[in-house]
Amino acid sequence: MDLSRFSLQGKVALITGGSRGIGEATALAFAQAGADVAVTARKVPELEAAADKIKNLGRKSLAIPANVRYMNELQDIVDAVVEEFGTIDILVNNAGMGLKMPAIEVDEKAWDAVIDLNLKSVFFLSQAAARVMRVHGGGKIINVASADAFKPDYHLASYSISKAAVVMLTKSLAIEWAEYNIRVNAVAPGAIRTRILESKFAAVPGAEEEAMRRPLGIGEPDDIAGIMVYLASDASRYATGQTFIVDGGELLR
């Protein structure tokens, strides 16, 4: 096998939620594989720090402060990347949130907050990026789902529902956009040690001990970066519409 197919040399990637956790790890892995990377997030200091790390790896980077929950910002994000780099070859829809509360207490505002970020923004940012990719001969879209798409987590109904919908969104876009040479896949992480997970551990007694009972324990953001590089590269050219579960064996239990 020609391992150069894993290279991202000359590619341009856009990553939402790219300032920390899985998003930042993916951005740095893409840069190490040769891509120029645009990252977007809400908090400017963290965003600029991530962009600086990419530049320190010898790649071009662009920090775009934005909140992808707001539909009027999505086209501006895509336009900024195209203006800076000329195209978008790879989109990673990583930004997301979970709201822990009993389903019987979820109101419309809470529901909309989760669905707008985890699902609606994924669809419409993918649409905006695909219009660019179609003109330039194709591209790769990678959506971040969750192991919770396949098993509901207690008091995380809106989150689990949104991530299950991302799995179907991935399939739907993949079958429609194959004719444009656009591959659409998803990654479903399990318990990855991020700030969100750490806050859950702090708030829920025994949560960390329970997470450690998974066959491979708790993962790190870098454990997701490898599958991201594969899906972004030519090595995965025959994969589309798939959700790759990277959960340390969580769903085996």
Catalytic residues: 159
* b/e code 100-120 from CB counts within 10 Å (16+ = b): eeeeeeeeeeebeebbbbbbb
